[in-house]
Chains A and B, each alone.
Chain A
Amino acid sequence: MNFSNWQEQQEISGFLFHEARLLDEHRWDEWQRLFTPDGLYWVPLVHGQADHLNHASLFCEDALLRSMRARRLDQARAYSQQPATRTVHVLGNVALESRSDTGCVVRSAFMLLEWRKTEQRAFGGSVLHTLEREGGEWRIRMKRIDLVNCDAPHEALQVFM
């Protein structure tokens, strides 16, 4: 499915770039406000995972859990954030997956560089944003990230991807 026009593509890509920037700049509160009240942030544990309720995940966070994560990252005694994780997201391949009366599903590819202490880690994969139009703004109903190495053993994953 194609975007209806250049303007729509620009607007939605711009929204995704903005979201990624909020994460890279640790603007957790603004990032959380991008979600609908029932919005889900989900990073499946296995390739092609169909279900977040009956299968374990890497991240499976509703508003409550996103808020608890954000609060923790900003605590003075978050020892595992001394120093804080730094990230940069690079997004591409933005494509319209489907459209509904109230929103759309957008697929993108991403690379994420993450640094803390001594080593840089690289993550990558595809992202599905289920977006809703709400009062003239886009809101995220679900952000699903399928990592290329989702089922690998991982060291701690602390910040939102």
Chain B
Amino acid sequence: MTIDLQALVQPDRVHKRVYTDPAIFELEMDRVFGQAWLYVGHESQVPNTGDYFTTRLGREPVVMVRHTDGEVHVMYNRCPHKGAKIVPDGSGSAGKFLRCLYHGWTFKCDGSLLSVPLRSGYEDTALDLKSPQYSVRKVARVASHRGFVFASLSAEGPELGEFLGGVATSLDNFCDRAPDGEVEVAGGVQRVIQRNNWKIFFENLHDTIHAVATHESSWRAAKEEFESMPAGTPKPFEVVIVDGNGEPLDFWEKLELKGYDRGHGFMEGIFVPPTDPVSLAYVAALEASQGAARADEILRVNRHNTIVYPSCSPHTSFQQIRVIRPLSVDRTLVEIFSFRLKGAPEATFQRTLKYTNIVNSPSSNVMPDDLEAYNRVQEGLTSDGGDWVSMHRAAGRDQALPGGRASNGNSEMPARNMFAAWASYMGVRAGDAE
């Protein structure tokens, strides 16, 4: 059965099937995740020769490895002999070469075949050990932006810089915030399973108006907590990052949203730069390294979630990257990586971890109500109670930008922008408005 994708996407609404149909999910794996540049990991996760880190790009299990020449390679985690995953899932060190557990075929850390047992057994057979098909297959393209490694499963398409467009500045600012200009992954990775289609999570990242409704339980709890403190108590960081969701809709309206081609975008920062001792010590370290004027320029880039569609969401001011891995049409894995700003005081990283513990961890007080909402959407969309999902709010009011568009904070521009990219990857044009 062919699917008329053209009929499912309009500029301001989408059909429920794009979230619920397993056949469309498989097409997305081929066409969206098979074409786009996808975030793999950060180079600091494989600091030494033979260090590896496994992940999943679309349906494909892949491994990022540091080769003897210092280059980072990304290849399919599959032995060309019998098909076994060569390294176990996770991260570690393979030593000087990769060795398959099953029959001991070994490969250099760039995937090229090094040796096989019983080489003589292949003499005069059709199996040519010099053929690239007996080396570990590399993903089609790998590129890095400031240490953030991306891969594309397709040999065709724009270069990484062109692909990132306007959100490259978020990755730049992520690094520029380090007094030494570099970041490194540290402190472990939190993993959360969501029972919803991956697109529901992406849309939520820039859905400002859900916060006051969905997060009432956590922002009210934070406000009550603060009110119970003695008068004059400075508002603790733990309260600030939770009660902000209770801001009224006119607060969010004033924030600017940017959307870029290929579905990317970012939201202007919702938190006023904090003035607690930890923050001030960090600013002092940045000023000492970069000078006051440059430090000010760096810190003025104050953004909440950035979207790098369709694989990750960096948070530049609290040094997190959430990596989104669709598992099935109604199941999504989100992995949260924390980063250390090189050259910053230790307490800066400890605050990064505090943010991830409070906001991103599976035990977050904020997220369960999101997960509940996503799941109720997923379940509701399977019903016959309606066919279409609205993205109409502030449609037709976007401001054009080079390579993208801007809108007020409560616009559903980001969702429309992501679906325009989705339609393009899927090979259709978002049809005419109803």
Contacts and interface: CB of A to CB of B under 8 A. Distances in A.
Tell me if chain B binds chain A. yes
Interface of A: 43, 45-46, 49, 53-60, 64-65, 67-69, 71-72, 75, 77-82, 151-158
Nearest to B229: A64
Interface in B193-246: 193-195, 214, 216-218, 220-222, 224-225, 236, 238-239, 242
A74 B182 CA distance: 43
B346 interface: yes
| Chain B interface main SS type | helix
A77 B369 CA distance: 9
A67 B220 contact: no
Most chain B CB within a 10 A radius of its CB, from A43, A46, A49, A75: A75
Interface string B186-197: 111111111100
B338 interface: yes
Interface of B: 186-195, 214, 216-218, 220-222, 224-225, 236, 238-239, 242, 333, 336, 338, 346, 349-350, 353, 356-358, 361-365, 367-369, 371-373
B305 to A, nearest CB: 19
B40 to A, nearest CB: 18
29 contacts: A46-B188, A54-B346, A54-B353, A56-B190, A56-B338, A56-B353, A56-B356, A56-B357, A56-B361, A57-B357, A68-B365, A72-B220, A75-B216, A78-B369, A79-B217, A79-B372, A80-B217, A80-B372, A81-B217, A81-B368, A82-B372, A152-B191, A153-B333, A154-B192, A155-B192, A155-B362, A156-B363, A156-B364, A158-B368
| Most chain A beta carbons < 10 A, residue from B218, B238, B338, B346 | B218
Nearest to B338: A56
Given A57-B357, A152-B191, A72 B217 contact: yes
A115 to B, nearest CB: 15
Nearest to A44: B188
A80 B368 contact: yes
Contact of B192 (A64, A71, A75, A153): A153
B364 to A, nearest CB: 8
Contacts of B218: 68, 72
A139 to B, nearest CB: 21
Given A57-B361, A152-B191, 7 more contacts: A54-B346, A55-B187, A58-B363, A64-B225, A71-B221, A79-B369, A156-B371
